[in-house]
Amino acid sequence: MAPSTHFKLNTGAQIPAVGLGTWRSEPGQVRQAVSFALKNGYSHIDASLIYGNEHEVGQGIKDSGLQNTLDALGTDYLDLSLIYWPVRLVPNESSALLPVNPDGIRSVDRSWDQSETWRRMEAVYKAGKVKAIGVANWSIPYLEELKKKWTVVPAVNQVELHPFLPQHALKEWCDNHGILLEAYSPLGSEGAPLMSDTAIQEMAKKNDVSPATVLISYHINRGAVVLPKSIKESRIVSNRQVIPLSRDDMDVLNGLAAQGKARRINMPLFGWNLGFDDWYKQ
């Protein structure tokens, strides 16, 4: 059975199973990557204010010719908007977007109730300015707290996700609440040996594909959206190649973290535990 090309959100909308990630792409490269991706079948682009590349993403959309279609249709809304972390950053002289204190810890307001941020997201959603709302980097304890006050269930929870960080409990919790997981850093990002892992390389050889294809396919076979990042045209195209993985293959990939390979790549210094089992334990 061929893997899914789209998943259904709890709003009823369809979301492409593979999107283009733009986090940590170098300035000046995002515009070209977005334009190329849209011209080659992508319709899901992940962008963020804190990535510092929203302008380039917009330019890439314009270059692709898509903006002409949007203008012709008269649309002026976003498909999906997320709260990126369950924290409220407090801008200071270090940065307006990613402020840090002199000790290197993020400048945050720990007294802020994130349900208030979600209430405002719900208002934007109900006003029709965005077709779906969700969260990113939210653990089960934080989701449980939000659940007490939400009137709109998040459509998505975008988290770091790969065989070295499968987050099985979080996946189950989100599945049970109709929340779709999105995987960022699906190839392990910088510094993670996923691509060179022996088990993953052997699986790639057996299936006659690249290790990247195995890792991307893992998420879609698991029922999660995947956001591989690339600025190279050949990889942008190949990242949409998805294969079915056998139950045995999935069992191997799902078990790698438990074999001592567990690793989280993205762990900002917020100064306290955000509810993930491995937070600040590496």
Per-residue pLDDT, 171:
98
Q: pTM for the complete prediction? A: 0.83
Q: What percent of the chain has pLDDT over 90?
A: 45
pLDDT at 112 over 90: no
Predicted confidence band of residue 151 (pLDDT cuts 50, 70, 90): very high
More confident residue, 70 or 205: 205
Catalytic machinery residues: 51
Q: Which amino acid is at 72?
A: A
Domains and their CATH numbers in the chain: 6-259 (3.20.20.100)
Phi and psi based region of residue 92 (left: phi greater than 0; alpha: psi -120 to 50; beta: remaining): beta
pLDDT at 265 over 90: no
> Per the structure block, which two tokens stand in for 212?
């990247």
pLDDT at 276 over 70: yes
Per-residue pLDDT, 73:
42
Predicted confidence band of residue 183 (pLDDT cuts 50, 70, 90): very high
- Cβ contact 229:20 at 8 Å: yes
**270-279 long-range CB contacts below 8 Å, 24 or more apart?**
270/85, 270/87, 270/105, 270/106, 270/108, 271/105, 271/106, 271/108, 272/110, 274/85, 274/86, 274/87, 274/137, 274/139, 274/142, 275/139, 275/140, 275/141, 275/142, 276/139, 276/167, 277/169, 278/165, 279/139
Per-residue pLDDT, 242:
94
Say which range, 93-97, 250-254, 272-276, has the weakest mean pLDDT.
93-97
Say which range, 70-84, 90-104, 176-190, 246-260, has the weakest mean pLDDT.
70-84
C-alpha triplet 71, 32, 53: angle, nearest 5°: 80
pLDDT at 138 over 60: yes
Per-residue pLDDT, 84:
86
